[in-house]
């Protein structure tokens, strides 16, 4: 009985040690990692969306600002998140009996290079894609802003989870 009591008392003490990486936001950032650099997202897709790179950059910075205690610095952060838009494509998805597209899909692909200067084993090099479907009776220009907002939200969540949440 005394043995179990000792274990129960020791568990909370061990959980409070500084070597445990845990936070309520779901991140797993080591305590000695203090800064992050998020440069402007480069746009390399063939089809052009003039605001996408800026919107994605701001969404990434905002996500890291809200869910981590990391200080964002221009250069030399403990973490660095370099992204480029490599794909921005529209393709027909659902076809009617008359062989006409009933729905189109906008897909955005972002290549990510995440570097952790203090813990290089946490580095990530990966592409992320997000998409949204829309009625083909609508032009892309009329729905593009809303679709991009939805896609950016998904991609930013995926990038965050793969880099500092490590899900």
Complete domains list, the chain, with CATH:
32-165 (3.30.160.150)
Q: Residues of the chain with pLDDT > 90: what percent? A: 72
Residue 166 CA to residue 159 CA, distance in Å, equals 9
152 near 54, Cβ under 8 Å? no
- pTM value is 0.81
Half-sphere exposure of 114 (CA within 13 A, CB side): 22
Question: Which segments within the chain are labelled E, that is strand?
Answer: 35-37, 42-43, 71-72, 79-95, 101-116, 124-135
Q: Residues of the chain with pLDDT > 70: what percent? A: 79
Residue 77 CA to residue 141 CA, distance in Å, equals 38
Mean pLDDT of 67-75: 95
Mean pLDDT of 53-71: 97
Mean pLDDT of 138-162: 96
Mean pLDDT of 152-161: 97
Instruction: Assess whether pLDDT exceeds 90 at residue 144.
Output: yes
Q: For the chain, give the number of residues.
A: 167
Q: Which residue is listed with tokens 């950059």?
A: 57
Instruction: Indicate the average pLDDT of the chain.
Output: 86
Confidence of residue 28 (pLDDT cuts 50, 70, 90): confident
Instruction: Assess whether pLDDT exceeds 50 at residue 46.
Output: yes
Q: Which of 47, 78, 61 is nearest to 144 (CA)?
A: 47
Mean pLDDT of 81-110: 89
């Amino acid at each position: 009985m005394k043995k179990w009591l000792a274990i129960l008392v020791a568990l909370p003490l061990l959980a409070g040690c500084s070597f445990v990486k845990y936070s309520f936001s779901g991140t797993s950032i080591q305590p000695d990692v203090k800064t992050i650099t998020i440069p402007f997202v480069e746009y390399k897709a063939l089809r052009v969306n003039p605001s996408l790179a800026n919107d994605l950059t701001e969404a990434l910075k905002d996500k890291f600002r809200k869910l981590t205690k990391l200080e964002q610095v221009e250069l030399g952060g403990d973490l660095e998140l370099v992204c480029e838009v490599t794909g921005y494509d529209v393709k027909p998805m659902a076809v009617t009996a008359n062989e006409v597209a009933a729905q189109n899909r906008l897909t955005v692909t972002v290549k990510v290079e995440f570097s952790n200067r203090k813990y290089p084993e946490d580095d990530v090099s990966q592409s992320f894609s997000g998409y949204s479907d829309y009625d083909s009776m609508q032009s892309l220009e009329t729905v593009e802003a809303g679709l991009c907002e939805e896609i950016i939200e998904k991609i930013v969540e995926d990038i965050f989870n793969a880099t500092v949440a490590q899900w």
